Amino acid sequence: MSFLIVQQDHVYVPISFYVPARDSAHRVVANPFLAVFELIRFFLFGTGFFLSVISEYFCYFHTQRLPPHHDKTSHQVPDLELFWTAAYGSYKFPKFPAGKGAGSVMIQTSLPKSLGTVRLSPDGADDIKVDPIVDPKYLSAPEDWEVYRRGIVFAQEVGREMRKGGYPVEEVQVPASHSNEDLDEHIREFAIASQHLVSSCRMKPREEGGVVDQRLKVYGIEGLRIADGSVFPGMVASRPQATVVMIAERCADFIRQGWKEKGLFPEHQ
Q: Is the pLDDT of residue 155 over 70?
A: yes
What are 166-213's pLDDT values in tens digits? 999 999 999 999 999 999 999 999 999 988 989 888 999 998 888 999
| 36 located within any domain | yes
What are the angstrom distances between the C-alpha of 241 and each of 65, 133, 245? 28, 25, 6
CATH of the domain at 155: 3.30.560.10
| 94 located within any domain | yes
The gap between the terminal CA atoms of the chain, to the nearest Å, is 47
Both 150 and 239 in a single domain?
Answer: no
Q: How many domains does the chain have?
A: 2
Both 205 and 222 in a single domain?
Answer: yes
Q: Supply the range of the domain harboring residue 261.
A: 198-269
Q: Which of 207, 208, 169 is nearest to 84 (CA)?
A: 169
Q: Within 13 A of 228's CA, how many CA atoms are on the CB side?
A: 7
| 53 located within any domain | yes
Both 69 and 110 in a single domain?
Answer: yes
What are 17-55's pLDDT values in tens digits? 999 998 898 888 888 899 999 999 999 998 888 888 888
| 101 located within any domain | yes
| 186 located within any domain | yes
Both 268 and 160 in a single domain?
Answer: no
Both 88 and 214 in a single domain?
Answer: no
Q: Which of 73, 142, 155 is nearest to 106 (CA)?
A: 155
Look up 268 and say whether it is catalytic.
no
Reported confidence tier of residue 2, pLDDT bands at 50, 70, 90: very low
Both 109 and 224 in a single domain?
Answer: no
Both 162 and 211 in a single domain?
Answer: no
| Active-site hit among 26, 178, 196, 268 | 196
Both 92 and 162 in a single domain?
Answer: yes
Both 258 and 153 in a single domain?
Answer: no
Both 25 and 100 in a single domain?
Answer: yes
